[in-house]
Structure 1
């Protein structure tokens, strides 16, 4: 019993991950709207962006990227963990609300040959389980931005310049992947960037204010 109390005291912040019990059923319900009318997210710029199956690699790395960041901060820094989760989960909720109230999707997935190479095979598999609806704003892009911000804001990780650069490259690659795989319109990525700009002060302003109190500067 004593050991259990110690574990709860040490890892009690796991409670925030129960957000998944809200997000996953909600997202799954929205994914069932296949065939229903939706607003098409499509611009002329989307037609100029070529399809490239090789971007499936950074697209899939997104899952590891986000999970690894949450796990790292969970075990090393509770404050950074809460800030990252606040950033991610707030944006994810807004995205679900937008897709619920304003059904949206894309209409420009090209025909591909899954036998061409392993990358096309993976893209075909992705498309088979992920219909081209509920795309605005892009959670892939938004969460990638959030993870990179958390790394840059971490007093420990920000000192590791190769890691910061690698994170930045992966973040940009994931955002590019969303449009090069024809998963998203460029509008979805811009929407994610705008949402990140709005949510950032909510998740990180208290930290900035605290640093100003002790350093006399306002560090962005």
Structure 2
């Protein structure tokens, strides 16, 4: 009986986990977009892209994006329920807009190098990334958008405001992640700008409006 009681208490405490079911919508939709065949793709390109060199070392922050997003989501999930809700609302709204855009406006890149000047472990990692991720469905960049969203959540956290080094470290990592998308030729500058624009549009609806409606609920701990 005690175990059942503890289980019920745990479920009640973390019932906000239901929002993570969004992955059941996102992943099948994204996989469908990635596997489409015989479709015309609009090639995304900016003249600025031609002046950005390929730098394989940026594969490190690029891959750290997965850890960054997971750790940020996990932190708010376990410590700040309403912060988690707002972060999830921000990320999942943008990810849904991304899916819609790529569905009605199939897009792709033609920026990846075919020959690598150097041969090292970082180039090998880039090759793995290229094999795992097609150069399609790139506008806007989810790497950039989710990094911005995580930084916004971190900047709004009362608890993390007491740990400025953590905040500044997160901002620095997010900046490197954003740079990595263009230096690895995974995204065009256009994709980055589109992601920033989308973040600017969604931000007021998720954070500014909600905090005006219910300021006492902001930053509510678990």
Work out whether the TM-score is over 0.5.
yes
2:200 pairs with 1:172: no
Q: Aligned partners of 1:192 and 1:137: how far apart in 2?
A: 5
What is the CA deviation profile of residues 111-167 of structure 1, one whole-angstrom value per residue up to 9, with x for unaligned ones?
A: 244980010000001101111000000000000000011100000112211111111
Across the aligned residues of Structure 1 and Structure 2, the Cα RMSD in angstroms comes to 1.7
State the match for 1:217 in structure 2. Answer: none
Aligned mate of 2:194, from 178, 191, 194: 191
Structure 1 residue 207: Cα displacement: 4.5
Moved over 6 A (4+): none
Structure 1 residue 33: Cα displacement: 2.3
State the match for 2:143 in structure 1. Answer: 140
State the match for 1:128 in structure 2. Answer: 131
User: Which 5+ residue runs of structure 1 have no aligned equivalent?
Assistant: 214-220
State the match for 2:25 in structure 1. Answer: 22
The range that moved more, 9-18 or 29-38, is: 29-38
Alignment size in residue pairs: 213
State the match for 1:202 in structure 2. Answer: 205
Check conservation: 1:34, 1:131, Cα contact below 8 A: no
State the match for 1:77 in structure 2. Answer: 80
* Counterpart secondary structure, 1:111: coil
The range that moved more, 34-43 or 132-141, is: 34-43
> TM-score, normalization: structure 1?
0.92
Structure 1 residue 205: Cα displacement: 1.8
> TM-score, normalization: structure 2?
0.91
